[in-house]
Amino acid sequence: MGDISNCSNGINNGNGNGNGNGNGIHGNGHSSVGGYRKSCWYEEEIEENLRWCFALNSILHTGVTQYQDIQLLDTKPFGKALVIDGKLQSAEIDEFIYHESLVHPALLHHINPKTIFIMGGGEGSTARELLRHKTVEKVIMCDIDEEVVDFCKSYLVVNREAFCDPRLELIINDARAELERKEECYDVIVGDLADPIEGGPCYKLYTKSFYESIAGPAGVFSHIEVFTCICNTLRQVFKYVVPYSAHIPSYADIWGWVMASDSPFTLSADELDLRMKQRIEGENRYLDGKTFTSASTLSKAVRKSLDNETHVYTEKSARFIYGHGKHNQA
Amino acid sequence: MGDISNCSNGINNGNGNGNGNGNGIHGNGHSSVGGYRKSCWYEEEIEENLRWCFALNSILHTGVTQYQDIQLLDTKPFGKALVIDGKLQSAEIDEFIYHESLVHPALLHHINPKTIFIMGGGEGSTARELLRHKTVEKVIMCDIDEEVVDFCKSYLVVNREAFCDPRLELIINDARAELERKEECYDVIVGDLADPIEGGPCYKLYTKSFYESIAGPAGVFSHIEVFTCICNTLRQVFKYVVPYSAHIPSYADIWGWVMASDSPFTLSADELDLRMKQRIEGENRYLDGKTFTSASTLSKAVRKSLDNETHVYTEKSARFIYGHGKHNQA
Amino acid sequence: MGDISNCSNGINNGNGNGNGNGNGIHGNGHSSVGGYRKSCWYEEEIEENLRWCFALNSILHTGVTQYQDIQLLDTKPFGKALVIDGKLQSAEIDEFIYHESLVHPALLHHINPKTIFIMGGGEGSTARELLRHKTVEKVIMCDIDEEVVDFCKSYLVVNREAFCDPRLELIINDARAELERKEECYDVIVGDLADPIEGGPCYKLYTKSFYESIAGPAGVFSHIEVFTCICNTLRQVFKYVVPYSAHIPSYADIWGWVMASDSPFTLSADELDLRMKQRIEGENRYLDGKTFTSASTLSKAVRKSLDNETHVYTEKSARFIYGHGKHNQA
Amino acid sequence: MGDISNCSNGINNGNGNGNGNGNGIHGNGHSSVGGYRKSCWYEEEIEENLRWCFALNSILHTGVTQYQDIQLLDTKPFGKALVIDGKLQSAEIDEFIYHESLVHPALLHHINPKTIFIMGGGEGSTARELLRHKTVEKVIMCDIDEEVVDFCKSYLVVNREAFCDPRLELIINDARAELERKEECYDVIVGDLADPIEGGPCYKLYTKSFYESIAGPAGVFSHIEVFTCICNTLRQVFKYVVPYSAHIPSYADIWGWVMASDSPFTLSADELDLRMKQRIEGENRYLDGKTFTSASTLSKAVRKSLDNETHVYTEKSARFIYGHGKHNQA
């Protein structure tokens, strides 16, 4: 879609907004009632039978990488949205819910997290949240798609500072290959990719003290797509596994994460709040101790599936989710 | 998603699963890639800038009442769906989340709930959940739209038994007018209507021992539409107020409820589970003690807004939500 | 939008226009345009980048055959619509344009058409138009999909009489195979299928005195998909070839047909009108002499492509159209 | 979808599929089949029950004028498209059909057209076609919305030359007011606005020798919206009236124009071709003698309505069309 990029110059905030000029002397019956309908839309197929559509302000940037198509859209309901291969990756107004939930629980439960490895994470938001931790000395972001990283570096203003942080080291490679190749040990490994095959835990990882698994849909129905399976697989690998979830408005679903370790997770809500105060620069917008307590207490329906789940990811077996949310992220 | 294919009634088998029907000798390139796209859709405007679309199996029934248009649709992702004035009211596969959450917490916290008044509730699902309580001797459903009640009586098979229960008494009237008219006292009053004006607590009600307020969107963003306001208003009226929330997939949002009383809510998760066992016929699919504990522990963002909310509903002032979910239900 | 924010109050009685139903006390902002926005839609992908959507009244019937999925929809803009494999085949309010144009020109130009062979035509409308000709003694409809024929027989009321006409003989077979198998000679052969491969003339046919080819899009742009190619191929086979076209509103395009023979087409508009009077029962709604004169005088752009077309259909080579209109009809 | 790309006829080059980018190692089941679906769309409500949707490459420019909202979109099926108040005004790939049909017939039938007045026409395409006539010495474009004119001047490259032509004079005013104010007489007046009220002929105009009325939908069904009414009204005002029509793909309909004068229209197709050769710079893409002959021979259905039309536009009475095509153009 190279032809798009030359045309991309989105400067259009709230077109069709407010002015009521739909009612000028040339107004017709349609525009004379509350303005004409929105005419430009982003449409995502959450499932084959389910669509989610955002009115568009503009198409800010588009690009094509070796692996994927990327778009940065300016949407009316969710602000700037990163779209890869036609799937929403993250949206300006609620990505903080996703990334605070992905990053902080594992780091806070660790005594003293210094070195972090991100599987994927090219968008930069995961690194941004990690780098808020005062204890963190080194963050390795290992993403397979350099052009996605460059795209996000140039256009996602909110992560610019993180991309420039001297503690961040970028490696372009397949995350698992990289982990298997290296002898190094990390305090925490964060999986910021949702492809269930890669999401399935790498058995080489159980020497690591902490592992924050990749996320997946965790709604009353959607959780059975991959979430229970990721949990169950991590249970085979780690002594202690804590699944938790949160609603991401722009995904139109509950999202779930799994935190796993060989040491127990024993912090109370208040202890979490205290550690946040001590260790994290700035204030979280979404996550605090109470929020995590609630997030890690799953509903009856989801707990039931988790108990009954028998499927385990292996190199060969994997469940797929219908391209959704961070599904395609490199 | 097996659970979802369960509710597709098989009318349209060529549902893009590569079954080959889309792909006969006349098949074209389009249908040869996993079946042609769905061609019939239900489309709802959740907000002016946000749409939610379900593939359709069929349009089962349609009707027009004195107040509203009603449709019973058979949707692929959410099964049979009741739509009033173009807004989804409830969907076969997840209405249990809404109605279990609306009904059971208040009744379980009451020592011995015998007489219940439903403001609205013409759909019948709220009555159905109430009547599962062994202590309940009388349920008065007061809905303004008789034809909606009749429509649901004839078409919502799942509620047929409830509609026939001798303990159910149906009154066609405006719920508030009815409550103000009568001298009677009820053990619990359930507001099964989302119109904020009607949802705003009726001051005549604070003599009642329990009041279960109407619900509203309670997502990280949407909760400020009406939810915090309902909470705050009830705080002016009742000594004890407990807001809680749950994700309703077919609403594409978190929904919130408020439980209010002049006696404290002190039950633990285990005590709730015990009472459910003792008092409720059959098993809940969504709600149990742990689920309620989690549901009533709101996220940081929502708690913050609740603390800062100053707006109070009065006869004159009210906030409105963009027609959504149960919004239009009589 | 200033004007919208008035309507962003979910109940919006404010928006005037009183379609009572959409606009009772629960009326919403969309009532303003003849009731709230339509919520059920039929959506067709005319091309990958172009969609055509009709508001739905209902989904009347659906079925699955050995070859195809069938739906009979009740659409608001075009009445009852026959949809096969997700593509509109014909719509109640304008199929007469298609079928009058397909059938009458060839029959009228023939001295005395008695025996007609329809390649495809399972819908029955082509037979219906043919049987209006007093000279016609026998119509053979050869369709490969018996269940489509049965479906149309039961549900397309407008063709019921035709299906019962003793002059109609139904054969379930591949039309070309059937023509090649049989020794019989027909006065006119009508191709009522749009699959270009089958649309490409069968070389066995040039002994027949008349041949009415299958149609295809014939718009200023779309005509190059198959129309010029069909024309050009027929030019290799027949001495005289007359392409003509008409706009079919429900197809959102101009449609084209080709009439071919080894005897010249010499009738004037008045002579055509006279023959219609003499030979056709009832009055045409679309076609008359002048209409045909205009229809067979193509625009400069289309004539140019016809002159420049060099591609010829063979068993091996064929152009395809993006599933559209009668594309999938057996 | 190889067959499909065969049939993409240059209209949609940037259809982003088949580039394999949707198939990187992160590709999912959906994107792995010939590219994921288009995700950005322009959607137009042709009627309340009928929608027309174009895949978007980008939103090039947007603006708000005193009267209207303007957008310049880059659409996949129709190229750059000018949208005013949410309605398509003209599209890059087929506006030539509209403007050649609007301008040339009237000018060619005039003996020696020197001074032309355009009612509206701010887009510039009408002026562009007029200025191709060697006889034309002065073109007055009278549009009410200066900002639309400026927007088109800056962004519609194809009309840049016309906007700079010394023979073009721009007046910002209501076209009718201007015509009534001035004493001047013009050889031809072209109405390039589709608001039926303004489209209704101004009685002050019948002294002018030629009048080219505004256009309107002229499909087998849509022509009764305004087209027959415009014709009938002009019949009251001028001795000779010639209606004609053409299909505009991006409007999804046939469009009609009316040419009126007090001297007869007697040119044959060949005479028209000759005059085009003599008078018009460059070659027409759509219109020639034969095309006009066909275009001015209307179908039976439309002729019938024209004969039966009794409605006449006056200052007070007017019919409206559902905002469509050039409806809102200033």
**Residue of C247, C243, C275 lying closest to C259 (CA atoms):** C243
Neighbours of A278 (CB within 10 A): 10
Domain that holds residue C57: 41-90
- Asked if residue B197 and residue B65 are part of one domain, the reply reads no
Average pLDDT of the residues of chain A: 80
Give D207: exposed, middle or buried? Use CB within 10 Å, 0-12, 13-18, 19+: exposed
C90 — pLDDT class (breaks 50, 70, 90): very high
What is the maximal distance between C-alpha atoms in chain C?
74
**A31, closest residue in chain C (CA to CA):** C33
- Asked if residue D111 and residue D68 are part of one domain, the reply reads no
pLDDT, one tens digit per residue, over D244-254 is 999 999 999 99
Helices marked H in chain D: 2-7, 95-109, 125-130, 146-155, 160-164, 175-181, 196-199, 223-237, 269-279, 289-295, 300-308
- Asked if residue D104 and residue D75 are part of one domain, the reply reads no
Give how many domains chain D has, as a whole number.
2
| Chain D residues lying within 8 Å of B29, measured CB to CB | 1-4, 34
Of the three residues A90, A114, A147, the one that is the final residue of a domain is: A90
Q: What is the pLDDT of residue D164?
A: 97
The answer to whether residue A328 scores a pLDDT higher than 70 is no
Average pLDDT of the residues of chain B: 80
| Chain A residues lying within 8 Å of D38, measured CB to CB | 43, 86
- Asked if residue D167 and residue D59 are part of one domain, the reply reads no
| Contact check, Cβ <8 Å, A68/D22 | yes
What helix, strand, coil percent values describe chain B, rounded to 5?
35, 25, 40
Report, as an integer, the average pLDDT of B40-44: 96
Q: Show which subunits contact B, needing at least 3 CB pairs below 8 angstroms.
A: A, C, D
pLDDT, one tens digit per residue, over A10-21 is 222 233 333 322
Q: What is the pLDDT of residue C304?
A: 93
Of the three residues B33, B61, B90, the one that is the final residue of a domain is: B90
Would B297 be classed as within a structural domain? yes
Output the CA–CA distances (angstroms, integers) from residue A283 to A133, A165, A276, in the order listed: 11, 19, 8
The answer to whether residue C107 scores a pLDDT higher than 70 is yes
The answer to whether residue B139 scores a pLDDT higher than 50 is yes
- Asked if residue B302 and residue B236 are part of one domain, the reply reads yes
Provide the 8-state DSSP code for C196: H
| Contact check, Cβ <8 Å, A301/B285 | yes
**Residue of D217, D199, D197, D84 lying closest to D189 (CA atoms):** D199
B184 — pLDDT class (breaks 50, 70, 90): confident
| Contact check, Cβ <8 Å, C2/A20 | yes
- Asked if residue B119 and residue B107 are part of one domain, the reply reads yes
Distance from the Cα of C208 to chain B's closest Cα (Å) equals: 26
Contact of C86 with B39, CB cutoff 8 Å: yes
Contact of B110 with B209, CB cutoff 8 Å: yes
**Residue of B64, B66, B40 lying closest to B53 (CA atoms):** B40
More confidently predicted of C30 and A302: A302
Q: What is the pLDDT of residue A60?
A: 92
The answer to whether residue B98 scores a pLDDT higher than 60 is yes
- Asked if residue D70 and residue D118 are part of one domain, the reply reads no
| A89-98, B4-13, B128-137, C166-175: least confidently modelled range | B4-13
Report, as an integer, the average pLDDT of B109-132: 95
Of the three residues A50, A67, A90, the one that is the final residue of a domain is: A90
Q: What is the pLDDT of residue D315?
A: 55
Report, as an integer, the average pLDDT of B212-234: 80
pLDDT, one tens digit per residue, over D274-323 is 999 999 999 999 999 999 999 999 999 999 999 998 887 765 554 544 54
Report, as an integer, the average pLDDT of B137-166: 95
| Full-model pTM | 0.84
**Residue of D80, D37, D78, D77 lying closest to D61 (CA atoms):** D80
The answer to whether residue D198 scores a pLDDT higher than 50 is no
- Give, rounded to a whole angstrom, the gap between the first and last alpha carbons of chain B: 33
Q: What type of residue sits at position D150?
A: D
**Residue of B154, B304, B189, B322 lying closest to B251 (CA atoms):** B322
pLDDT, one tens digit per residue, over A287-299 is 999 999 999 999 9
- Asked if residue C304 and residue C267 are part of one domain, the reply reads yes
| Contact check, Cβ <8 Å, B53/A55 | no
Is residue D187 flagged as an active site residue?
Answer: no
Catalytic residue among C94, C145, C192, C253: C192
| A79-93, D202-216, D249-263: least confidently modelled range | D202-216
Would C275 be classed as within a structural domain? yes
The answer to whether residue A249 scores a pLDDT higher than 70 is yes
* Among the partner residues C24, C41, C62, nearest to B68 by beta-carbon distance: C24
B326 — pLDDT class (breaks 50, 70, 90): very low
Would C194 be classed as within a structural domain? yes
H-run or E-run covering A274: helix A269-279
- Asked if residue B169 and residue B104 are part of one domain, the reply reads yes
Tell me the range of A176-180, D203-207, D266-270 where mean pLDDT is highest. D266-270
pLDDT, one tens digit per residue, over A107-161 is 999 999 999 999 999 999 999 999 999 999 999 999 989 999 999 999 999 999 9
Would A24 be classed as within a structural domain? no
Q: What is the pLDDT of residue C14?
A: 28
H-run or E-run covering C116: strand C115-120
Distance from the Cα of D252 to chain A's closest Cα (Å) equals: 17
pLDDT, one tens digit per residue, over C120-133 is 999 999 999 999 99
* Among the partner residues A18, A19, A34, nearest to C15 by beta-carbon distance: A34
- Residues 6 or more apart whose Cβ sits within 8 Å of residue C5: none
**Residue of D107, D106, D117, D134 lying closest to D169 (CA atoms):** D117
Report, as an integer, the average pLDDT of D143-172: 95
* Among the partner residues A38, A254, A290, nearest to B49 by beta-carbon distance: A38
B195 — pLDDT class (breaks 50, 70, 90): low
Distance from the Cα of C132 to chain D's closest Cα (Å) equals: 19
The answer to whether residue B290 scores a pLDDT higher than 80 is yes
The CATH number of residue B125's host domain is 3.40.50.150
Neighbours of D254 (CB within 10 A): 25
Q: What is the pLDDT of residue B327?
A: 34
A316 — pLDDT class (breaks 50, 70, 90): low
| Chain D residues lying within 8 Å of C41, measured CB to CB | 51
- Asked if residue D286 and residue D147 are part of one domain, the reply reads yes
Residue A249, sorted as left (phi over 0), alpha (psi -120 to 50) or beta, turns out to be: alpha
Would D31 be classed as within a structural domain? no
| Chain A residues lying within 8 Å of D68, measured CB to CB | 21-22, 24, 26
The CA-based angle B257-B259-B264, given to 5 degrees, is: 150
Report, as an integer, the average pLDDT of D196-202: 48
Distance from the Cα of B171 to chain A's closest Cα (Å) equals: 34
Report, as an integer, the average pLDDT of B68-72: 90
Distance from the Cα of C136 to chain A's closest Cα (Å) equals: 48
DSSP, collapsed to helix, strand or coil, labels residue C158 as: helix
Average pLDDT of the residues of chain C: 80
Q: What is the pLDDT of residue C167?
A: 98
D194 — pLDDT class (breaks 50, 70, 90): low
- Asked if residue C149 and residue C228 are part of one domain, the reply reads yes
| A28-37, A173-182, C204-213, D131-140: least confidently modelled range | A28-37
**Residue of A133, A183, A197, A202 lying closest to A162 (CA atoms):** A133
Report, as an integer, the average pLDDT of D177-199: 75
The answer to whether residue D134 scores a pLDDT higher than 80 is yes
The CA-based angle A265-A271-A273, given to 5 degrees, is: 115
Average pLDDT of the residues of chain D: 80
Q: B216 φ, ψ to 5°?
A: -160, 170
The answer to whether residue A194 scores a pLDDT higher than 60 is no
- The two beta strands, B138-143 and B115-120, are parallel
Q: B143 φ, ψ to 5°?
A: -120, 145
- Asked if residue A254 and residue A143 are part of one domain, the reply reads yes
Contact of A81 with A91, CB cutoff 8 Å: yes
Question: Which residue's structure tokens are 């706009």?
Answer: C247
B223 — pLDDT class (breaks 50, 70, 90): confident
The answer to whether residue C320 scores a pLDDT higher than 50 is no
pLDDT, one tens digit per residue, over A85-108 is 888 999 999 999 999 999 999 999
Report, as an integer, the average pLDDT of A181-208: 66
B77 — pLDDT class (breaks 50, 70, 90): very high
pLDDT, one tens digit per residue, over D26-80 is 223 233 233 566 799 999 999 899 999 999 999 999 988 888 889 999 999 999 9
The answer to whether residue A197 scores a pLDDT higher than 70 is no
The answer to whether residue C53 scores a pLDDT higher than 90 is yes
Would C324 be classed as within a structural domain? no
Contact of B122 with B194, CB cutoff 8 Å: no
The answer to whether residue C293 scores a pLDDT higher than 70 is yes
Would D313 be classed as within a structural domain? no
| Dist. CA D185–CA D174, nearest whole Å | 17
The answer to whether residue C45 scores a pLDDT higher than 50 is yes
Report, as an integer, the average pLDDT of D70-98: 94
The CATH number of residue B71's host domain is 2.30.140.10
Report, as an integer, the average pLDDT of C264-270: 95
Contact of C118 with C163, CB cutoff 8 Å: no
Q: What is the pLDDT of residue B177?
A: 84
| Contact check, Cβ <8 Å, D3/B29 | yes
| Contact check, Cβ <8 Å, A17/C1 | yes
| Contact check, Cβ <8 Å, D68/A24 | yes
| Dist. CA B231–CA B240, nearest whole Å | 11
How many beta-carbon contacts under 8 Å exist across C and D? Answer: 147
| Dist. CA A273–CA A31, nearest whole Å | 51
**Residue of A91, A90, A95 lying closest to A285 (CA atoms):** A95
C86 — pLDDT class (breaks 50, 70, 90): confident
The answer to whether residue B317 scores a pLDDT higher than 70 is no
Would C330 be classed as within a structural domain? no
Contact of B257 with B292, CB cutoff 8 Å: no
Q: What is the pLDDT of residue D94?
A: 96
Catalytic residue among A192, A195, A253, A273: A192
| Contact check, Cβ <8 Å, A144/D87 | no
Contact of D11 with D249, CB cutoff 8 Å: no
The answer to whether residue A50 scores a pLDDT higher than 60 is yes
Angle, helices C223-237 vs C300-308, to 10°: value is 50
| Dist. CA C40–CA B72, nearest whole Å | 12
| Chain C residues lying within 8 Å of D96, measured CB to CB | none
| Chain A residues lying within 8 Å of C14, measured CB to CB | none
The answer to whether residue C32 scores a pLDDT higher than 60 is no
More confidently predicted of D12 and C66: C66
Percent of chain A with pLDDT over 90: 56
What is the maximal distance between C-alpha atoms in chain B?
72
| Contact check, Cβ <8 Å, C4/A33 | no
For residue B284 the two structure tokens come to 């809940």
How many beta-carbon contacts under 8 Å exist across A and C? Answer: 31
The answer to whether residue D208 scores a pLDDT higher than 60 is no
| Contact check, Cβ <8 Å, A35/C4 | yes
DSSP, collapsed to helix, strand or coil, labels residue B256 as: strand
